[in-house]
Amino acid sequence: MNWTSLTERTGQLQQRATQARRRSRHLWRRLALFAAVLGPGLITSNVDNDAGGISTYSLAGAQFGYTLLWSLIPMTIALYVTEEMCARMAVVTGKGLSDLIREEFGFRPTFFVMVTGFLVDLGNVVAEFAGVASAVSIFGISKYIAVPIAALVVWVLVIRGTYRQVEKVFLALCTFYLAYFFSAVLAKPNWLEAARYTVIPSVHFNSAYLLMLTALVGTTIAPWQFFYMQASFVEKRVGPRQYPQARADVIAGSISCMAIVFFIIVATAATLYTSGHRSIADAADAARALAPLAGRWAALLFAFGLLNASLFAASILPLSTAQVICEGLGFEAGIDRKFGDARIFYGLYTLLIVVGSGLILIPRAPLWRILVLSQVANGIWLPIVLIFMILLINRRSLMGEQVNSPTFNVVAWTTSIAMIALTLVLVYFGLFHPSSSVVPGL
């Protein structure tokens, strides 16, 4: 090789090395941007795997085996489509969903949405503390000790923390959902059969199956999610330039949420359904039943997941409710606000925590009726919120060029109509045929 060739070869190698360094820096910059935006989508999607949700998923696996796994794919799409619209409205307008409803539709519709949301979420907060009580009972701890401690912990977390600190805690809690992955592995399922039922729909046209399918959808997508996610992106000051990262956050949240649902159904299907042990009342019953079938560690991990999910949701649900009401009525709101600057926000948060945990401590409290009414109200509230969202995101005066495309509108309206129809079925059974329900608390 002559000197000229050697020089050319060296130059080519140096150029490739420079290009590789640039690609590496570009990749790290993109990862840093994603890490900075990461949070609202991942937290919002995963917190919906709460006590009621885990109970429903456990019952789906225990009673129907793997046959409902196919529904997770369209549910993932529905979850992403609805949450992406909220993320887009947040980064374009810089305002929360309740703010936009008040500004675009007036005070009366906003007040109706706020009152309905408060009542629905109060019932849901009670359900989360009921989940705490159920989970700790597996570890032999009295609810009269655990529930007040849990209430104090979640109250102090928000009252004393900043948004960044609280978000880090919430992201850490997301990782604890991996307990359900390990429970599923310890249950030793037939992974090939589970995969087959996931990609090939297996629909049964009987009332129990269809009601459970309805419950899965209604449990996975809740109205409070939209308000909390949009407010979180606003509070985090995510702007239009960070929209791609915000969308990636929503995608990550939707997929991870459905992955956890998959493992919960697989764990109970591989054990309770296969063994014929299908009569469970809630997730705590499922955890107890797992012990003789999949081992003590599988049961403890399942119970730990329930406790984590209940604490997680007990923190976020009252926080979301207080944020929604204060935004809608024009009061100061946000974790970064000082107590003296946002007394109504922190007062509502405290009220929800005290009432939600206090009802659980009342001997023989009618918790079943509270859970039924909260789920029925949730079903009524969901279609209203969805319609507001679609009308808002298609206002060019509000969204500019970021309105829904025709294709995305078709997906959004189809998803919304399907969710409305399924939710109305759930409301109908909850109101008029509660004895025929196969869903805990409904």
The stretch 166-171 carries a mean pLDDT of 71
Q: Is residue 26 part of a domain?
A: no
Distance in angstroms (rounded) separating the CA atoms of residues 144 and 125: 17
Query: Given a cut of 70, is residue 365 above it in pLDDT?
Result: no
Distance in angstroms (rounded) separating the CA atoms of residues 207 and 56: 16
For the entire predicted model, the pTM comes to 0.80
More confident position, 356 or 116: 356
In this predicted structure, what is the pLDDT of residue 32? 39
The stretch 76-86 carries a mean pLDDT of 89
Q: Is residue 43 part of a domain?
A: yes
Distance in angstroms (rounded) separating the CA atoms of residues 221 and 241: 28
In this predicted structure, what is the pLDDT of residue 114? 82
pLDDT grade, residue 413 (50/70/90)? confident
More confident position, 116 or 352: 352
Judged on CB neighbours under 10 Å (0-12, 13-18, 19+), 217 is: buried
Q: What is the pLDDT of residues 196-236, one digit of tens each?
A: 999 998 877 776 787 788 778 777 778 888 888 888 888 88
Q: Is residue 14 part of a domain?
A: no
Our CA angle for 71, 62, 72, nearest 5°, is 15
**Total domain count, the chain:** 1
Distance in angstroms (rounded) separating the CA atoms of residues 381 and 97: 14
In this predicted structure, what is the pLDDT of residue 36? 41
Q: What is the pLDDT of residues 27-76, one digit of tens each?
A: 444 433 334 445 677 777 777 777 777 878 888 888 899 999 999 998 89
More confident position, 290 or 135: 135
Q: How far is CA 274 from the centre of its chain?
A: 29
Whichever domain contains 329, its CATH number is 1.20.1740.10
Q: Is residue 425 part of a domain?
A: yes
Q: Is residue 132 part of a domain?
A: yes
In this predicted structure, what is the pLDDT of residue 129? 87
Mean pLDDT of the chain: 78
Q: How far is CA 50 from the centre of its chain?
A: 8
In this predicted structure, what is the pLDDT of residue 293? 64
In this predicted structure, what is the pLDDT of residue 405? 83
Distance in angstroms (rounded) separating the CA atoms of residues 214 and 234: 32
Ramachandran assignment for 330, one of left (phi > 0), alpha (psi -120 to 50 degrees), beta (any other) = left
In this predicted structure, what is the pLDDT of residue 442? 44
Q: What is the pLDDT of residues 265-291, one digit of tens each?
A: 998 898 888 877 667 766 666 777 776
pLDDT grade, residue 394 (50/70/90)? very high
**Residue 394 contacts residue 403 (beta carbons within 8 Å):** yes
In this predicted structure, what is the pLDDT of residue 440? 45
Q: Is residue 25 part of a domain?
A: no
Helices 191-199 and 72-93 cross at an angle (nearest 10°) of: 60
Q: Is residue 441 part of a domain?
A: no
More confident position, 353 or 245: 353
What is the domain range of residue 67?
Answer: 32-436
In this predicted structure, what is the pLDDT of residue 434? 55
pLDDT grade, residue 253 (50/70/90)? confident
Query: Given a cut of 50, is residue 19 above it in pLDDT?
Result: yes
Query: Given a cut of 90, is residue 335 above it in pLDDT?
Result: no
In this predicted structure, what is the pLDDT of residue 15? 67
In this predicted structure, what is the pLDDT of residue 282? 62
